[in-house]
Amino acid sequence: MEVQETRVQTDRVLTIPNILSMARLVGVPVFLWLILRPEFGGPQSDGWALLVLALSGVSDYLDGKLARRWNQISSLGRLLDPAADRLYILSTLVGLTWREILPLWLTLVLLAREAMLLVMVGILRRHGYPPPQVNFLGKAATFNLMYAFPLLLLSDGSGWIASLAAVFGWAFAGWGTTLYWWAGVLYVVQVRRLVRADIAAD
């Protein structure tokens, strides 16, 4: 995460990048429902869940790229994009932990990082700073986790495909968790510097 404000190009709400981000948000409860259907006596819908997750990954790439190319970076978009990322991660953690595909300790490690980030955002707001922008390290962490989760979901089966998915899924999960916390620690350092500078200025 970077604690810096990106110049806003437009205040429009109905831009193509914002519509893509909104569609990703709508897909969050659909994705969670598809994952949890077997737990409530419904048919297994992992294939559809993987499709929703894949489409969310494509839209995540497109909304940022199109916003920059078409000069449609907006205040709303700066909120929607990271919110959609975190909600997909949260819904996937809930679903995969409920189905015992993810161990509870890994879920708690990732949720602890999110709790730390919320505290830092609160500190920033008290000092008059905007929410942070996602930097390359944070995006890399999110992409690794978004690769890990569908692979781990695919590993909940039998055969060589499931075995291969488990190997790569856990590799991406390890890299993503490490990068997630690394980005979080760097963010804490940046927030601390800003707070110290404010105190020194007073």
CATH number at residue 128: 1.20.120.1760
DSSP character at residue 38:
G
- Side-chain half-sphere CA neighbours of 154 within 13 A: 23
Which residues have CB under 8 Å from 166's CB, separation 6+?
Answer: 151, 152, 155
Quote the percentage of the chain above a pLDDT of 90: 17
> Is residue 13 over pLDDT 80?
no
Q: Report the C-alpha gap between 139 and 128 in whole angstroms.
A: 25
Per-residue pLDDT tens over the stretch 163-185: 999 999 999 999 999 999 998 89
What pLDDT sits at residue 164? 93
The answer to whether residue 63 sits within a structural domain is: yes
The answer to whether residue 89 sits within a structural domain is: yes
| Mean residue pLDDT across the chain | 82
> Is residue 188 over pLDDT 80?
yes
What pLDDT sits at residue 182? 92
Domain boundaries, position 35? 16-201
pTM higher than 0.85 for the full model?
no
What pLDDT sits at residue 82? 75
Helix 104-126 to helix 75-98 angle (10° resolution) is 160
**Count of domains observed in the chain:** 1
Q: Is 140 exposed, middle or buried (0-12, 13-18, 19+ CB in 10 A)?
A: middle
DSSP character at residue 99:
T
What pLDDT sits at residue 6? 45
